[in-house]
């Protein structure tokens, strides 16, 4: 079971290998949304998302003789890049199963980092089964996207940093908002926050149609999304909460929120205009919950995790080629 100790051990492994992302604040947004917002910008992390933390910790925790066999994983893109970069740091091969419709930037970056990319159809294929077949055939070690203690512990180092940074600032956070797909990121963060900042309420945020964690928290049991669901938030579109992550999140989280694709588009725009940060749709859902009014601050302080910034240049240009406010009106 993931604990504060396993997260602290992960922080020791990561030291000197990752970016300790800052807490960023913008008075314009504080005034606009009626509270204090502190962003944890993991879009500035190595490979453009938080995923490097968990991947590096997992691979670093392996015995060297096991690690030499190489690693394999399945991912829509951010975990793919994190695993490829971490494997490259250790000089071992990495094979990544990715959907054919993953953003071109994510596929190209994964290959550039030395990863061997195997493509599949997101709507008809079984990415985990494909990766498991590669595992059996090659002897490579599986590095799961979220359902793994070492992965969760690596992501949990974000929670450690948040607690330390808030302490340095002399600030108490009332809430923390975090994107969720399979649940590894928020499981790690919430474990650290619950141990170090027990009065801070941690909420997961998801796109409508892929709000399986929110629904599962309400029902107390893992619940799958409808198979025909679609969202622009490609980084966090999983079908069901993780088997290992969900019990952690059920114990730690105060609840869940969902946002529409229109909410997300507006949030991406505001983040770029007000902060000059490029945040991909899935990485912006926490801020989208505030910006859309689905959660109001009413003078409270919120930490918002911006989990990634790997947006295609073409998609980014399209976002700002016309007035997005007209698109979302």
For the annotated catalytic residues, the residue numbers are 51, 307
DSSP 198: T
Do the beta carbons of residue 46 and residue 79 sit within 8 Å? no
| CA–CA separation, 245 and 258 (whole Å) | 19
Q: What Å distances lie between residue 255 and 165, 215, 274, CA to CA? A: 24, 9, 28
Phi, psi dihedral angles at 293 (to 5 degrees): 80, 10
Q: DSSP letters of 246-259?
A: HHHHHHH-SEEEEE
What are the CA-CA distances from residue 310 to residues 55, 139, 156, 293 (Å)?
17, 30, 21, 26
**Backbone angles phi and psi of 38, in degrees to 5:** -120, 115
CA 266 and chain centroid, separation: 19
DSSP classification of residue 232: S
For tokens 């992550």, the residue is: 245
Alpha-carbon distances of 72 from 61, 109, 139, 314, 326, rounded to whole Å: 15, 16, 9, 29, 43
């Amino acid at each position: 079971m993931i604990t504060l100790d396993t997260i602290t051990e992960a922080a020791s492994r990561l030291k000197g290998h990752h970016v300790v992302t800052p807490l960023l604040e913008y008075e314009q947004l504080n005034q606009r949304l009626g509270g204090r917002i502190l962003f944890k910008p993991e879009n500035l992390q190595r490979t453009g998302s938080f995923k490097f933390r968990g991947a590096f910790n997992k691979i670093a925790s392996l015995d060297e003789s096991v690690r030499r066999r190489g690693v394999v994983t399945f991912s829509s893109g951010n975990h793919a890049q994190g695993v490829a970069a971490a494997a490259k740091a250790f000089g071992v091969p990495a094979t990544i199963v990715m959907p054919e419709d993953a953003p071109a930037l994510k596929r190209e970056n994964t290959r550039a980092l030395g990863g061997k990319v195997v493509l599949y159809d997101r709507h008809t294929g079984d990415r985990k089964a494909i990766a498991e077949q590669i595992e059996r055939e090659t002897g490579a070690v599986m590095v799961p996207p979220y359902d793994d203690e070492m992965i969760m512990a690596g992501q949990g180092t974000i929670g450690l940093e948040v607690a330390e940074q808030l302490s340095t600032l002399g600030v108490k956070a009332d809430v923390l908002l975090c994107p969720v797909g399979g649940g590894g990121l928020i499981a790690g963060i919430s474990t650290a926050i619950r141990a170090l900042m027990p009065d801070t309420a941690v909420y997961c945020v998801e796109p409508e149609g892929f709000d399986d964690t929110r629904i599962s928290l309400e029902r107390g049991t893992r619940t799958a999304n409808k198979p025909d669901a679609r969202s622009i938030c490609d980084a966090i579109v999983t079908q069901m909460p993780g088997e290992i992550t969900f019990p952690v999140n059920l114990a730690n989280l105060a609840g869940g929120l969902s946002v529409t694709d229109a909410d997300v588009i507006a949030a991406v725009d505001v983040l770029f205009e007000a902060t000059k940060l490029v945040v991909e749709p899935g990485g912006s859902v926490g801020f989208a919950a505030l910006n859309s009014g689905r959660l109001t601050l009413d003078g409270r302080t919120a930490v918002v995790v911006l989990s990634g910034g790997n947006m295609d240049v073409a998609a980014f240009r399209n976002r700002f080629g016309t007035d997005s406010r007209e698109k979302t009106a």
